[in-house]
């Protein structure tokens, strides 16, 4: 009986140590997987950084715009419903005068005259 107790204790201790070995191996494989994922992310990040640096060197004249004009079938003839002198592109020639820029500057009231605290001939807009 005594030998069975010792043998079962040895088996339990052996199984416990083997389970710890399995946990360590599992941790090592997880660490290797995480390292591989991290390395892939670093490679992707480096590629994106290189691409963004190349975009900074890009000139506007280097960009080619490709317009694809696809004909849309509405199932009926749209020209029957439009006026005779209809021009879909009328008014599309925009110039700088077509745009109005509004600058609303808020007037801040501090409750006292700030000129008394500024040097003589002070100009906030001087360069």
Which H, E and C letters describe 30-68, residue by residue? HHHHHHHHHHHHHHHHHHHHHHHHHHHCCCHHHCCCCCC
pTM to 2 decimal places: 0.23
Structure tokens at 97: 């005068």
Own/partner long-range contacts of 74-81 (Cβ < 8 Å, ≥24 apart): none
Domain boundaries, the chain: 2-62+70-111
Question: How does pLDDT run across 75-115, given as a tens digit for each residue?
Answer: 888 888 888 888 888 877 777 777 777 777 888 888 888 88
pLDDT for 59 equals 73
Question: How does pLDDT run across 40-56, given as a tens digit for each residue?
Answer: 766 677 777 777 777 66
């Amino acid at each position: 009986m005594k030998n069975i107790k010792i043998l079962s204790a040895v088996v339990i201790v052996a199984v416990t140590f083997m389970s710890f070995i399995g946990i360590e191996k599992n941790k090592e494989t997880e660490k290797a997987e995480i390292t591989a994922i991290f390395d892939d992310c670093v490679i992707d990040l480096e590629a994106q950084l290189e691409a963004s640096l190349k975009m900074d060197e890009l000139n506007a004249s280097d960009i080619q715009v490709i317009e694809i004009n696809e004909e849309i079938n509405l199932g009926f003839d749209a020209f029957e419903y439009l006026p005779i002198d209809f021009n879909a592109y009328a008014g599309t020639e925009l110039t700088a005068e077509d745009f109005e820029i509004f600058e609303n500057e808020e007037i801040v009231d501090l409750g006292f005259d700030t000129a008394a605290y500024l040097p003589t001939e002070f100009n906030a807009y001087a360069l």
